[in-house]
Structures are given as C-alpha cells and as structure tokens.
Amino acid sequence: VTARTAFIIGNGGHAHVIASLLPHDTIRFLVTESPSAGEALQDDVLASRPGDADFFIGIGDDAVRRRYFDRLDALGAPMPPCVAQHAFVAGDARLGRGVFIGPGAVVASRAKLADNVIVNTLAAVDHDSDVGEDSQVTPGVSLGSRLTIGRRCYFGMKSCVLPRLSLGDRTIVMAGALVVRSSPGGVMLGGSPARVMRPVNEASAPLG
C-alpha cells in the first residue's frame, strides 16, 4: 500500500471529524483555524504538495466550502469522497467529489449526491433521491426516497422529508421539522407539518 498524504482545509470540528475517519498515513491541516470566506488557500503549500496527496474540505459553512472546492478544482487537486468505515453506501449510489458521509449514515440504492455534499452522522438518504451540490444533511436527518433536492440546501438535525418531494435551491429545513410538501427554493421550512417560516438569501447567516 502506498503511503498517502491527506490535506484537510480547516481546523475546526468538521475538519477533525474528517481526520478521524481517513486511512491516510499523514494528515495535515491547511489552516490554523476555521477560515472565513475571505481567507485564501495557502498557495505555497498547494504548489509543493506531494503527488499522491488527497484533499478534503473540513468546513461546515456551505458557502465557504464551495469557495474552497472551486479553488481546489481549478488547481486540479483530487477530492475523493470521505466515507466513514461504518457508513453504508449502496454500490449503485453515485457520489460526487468532496462528498462526506459520516459514521452510521446510509446512502441507499441509486441515490445521487452531487459534489461537496455532506451526509453527517446517522443521517439517511433513501433510494433514488438526488441531493444537489453543497447541500448539507446534518446528524439524524431522514430524507425519503425519490426526492429532488436543489443546491446548497440545509437540513437541520433530525428533520425528515417525506418521499417523492422536490425542494428548490437554498431550502433550509429547521431542526426537527417534518416536510410533507414540495417547496420552491429560498425559504426556511419549520415545524410539523413544516410551513414556510421566512425567506432565505445569500446574506442569511450560516448555520452550524
């Protein structure tokens, strides 16, 4: 087995969770604290990286994660999925680059996770569901089957979405909500059954 190096962008909670799951022999954190949206990647480190290095983005803020994804992508850095050893990912599920799948998570048959998606601890994405780029499925969330989820959606802890629904880009589902109807994007849904609570836009505060 070839020795491999992992570079993890970030040094906060999510970065250390990724580090705890990786099989790589050497792990380096590329920033000293959770970076803000304005912080640049350390170009010198990237330029001198070993040829066998893999890159992981350990940042929970979905907008910031996307900035680093684009930057690494432009540099041609490999961003393989990070999948916990005790997650279940069906053989016919499709995982984009930079995807994170946490311990106890399930990604069922023919589910598709686009680039940069997080499916965190004990969360489930049921069969034939599509989850759009940069979306985040936080611990304990249940996403039903045959869903169409847009880009940069956020599902708060233990929320549920019933099967066959569509949620547009930038939908935020509050922790514990039960989503029973499809919804256009740009809204926060909360409660059981979930209702539109307020609009969401680019300026809305990041969720953690």
Ligand X SMILES: CC(C)(COP(=O)(O)OP(=O)(O)OC[C@H]1O[C@@H](n2cnc3c(N)ncnc32)[C@H](O)[C@@H]1OP(=O)(O)O)[C@@H](O)C(=O)NCCC(=O)NCCS
Compare residues 78 and 191 and give the one whose CB is closer to ligand X: 191
**H or E segment and range at residue 106:** strand 106-107
Instruction: Indicate the residue type of 74.
Output: A
Minimal distance, residue 37 CB to ligand X, in Å: 19
Please return the burial class of 176, using the count of CB atoms within 10 Å of its CB with bins 0-12, 13-18 and 19+. Answer: middle
Nearer to ligand X, 60 or 77 (CB): 60
Nearer to ligand X, 41 or 172 (CB): 172
Decide: helix, strand or coil at residue 16: helix
Nearest residue (CB) to ligand X, 18 versus 41: 18
Going by C-beta distance under 8 Å and a sequence separation of 6 or more, which residues neighbour residue 145?
Answer: 108, 126, 127, 128, 129, 163, 164
Question: Nearest approach, Cβ of 114 to ligand X (angstroms)?
Answer: 19
CB of 134 to ligand X, least distance (A): 15
* Site residues, ligand X (CB under 6 A): 120, 138-139, 156-157, 174-176, 190-191, 207-208
- In angstroms, give the least distance from the CB of 170 to ligand X: 13
